[in-house]
Amino acid sequence: MTMEIETGQILQGKVTGIQPYGAFVALNDKVQGLVHISEVTHGFVKDINDHLEIGDEVSVKVLNIDEANNKVSLSIRATEEAPKKTASKPQNKPAFNQQQDNNAGFNTLKDKLEEWIEQSKEREGTFKN
């Protein structure tokens, strides 16, 4: 099937079909592979049609060759440089409610249970007539 194609190679191909889950790319006259939607570009792809059209020439990297099932997995994003992460400016969010107990936070229920029972007992007398 793919004697001249090896995993890791970067090849040129032509988009021959588009489905919601990915795009089919012809690598030559005999071999066609699939670029899964998650391998189209860096970041989230909601609609593959926003990124590819039938007939587009694309550069792809061969991720996997399954000769038993005659399938080739391809990636376009593996041929592109990942976008640089920009240092985002910290947002000025309001501080955690200062009136709350300083011990408030991410405690398990087991940790807080005794405290809640004690608070309940203290308040019990305030609701009786």
The answer to whether position 14 is within a domain reads yes
Query: 31: Cβ–Cβ under 8 A, 6 or more apart, which residues?
Result: 1, 2, 5, 72
Domain tally for the chain?
Answer: 1
Q: What domain range includes position 45?
A: 10-79
The answer to whether position 73 is within a domain reads yes
| Domain CATH code at residue 28 | 2.40.50.140
The answer to whether position 24 is within a domain reads yes
Residues 26, 16: Cα–Cα separation, whole Å: 6
The answer to whether position 32 is within a domain reads yes
The string of pLDDT tens digits covering residues 31-79 is 899 999 999 998 888 999 999 999 999 999 999 998 888 889 999 999 9
What percentage of residues in the chain have a pLDDT greater than 90? Answer: 40
The answer to whether position 53 is within a domain reads yes
Using DSSP, state whether 37 is helix, strand or coil.
helix
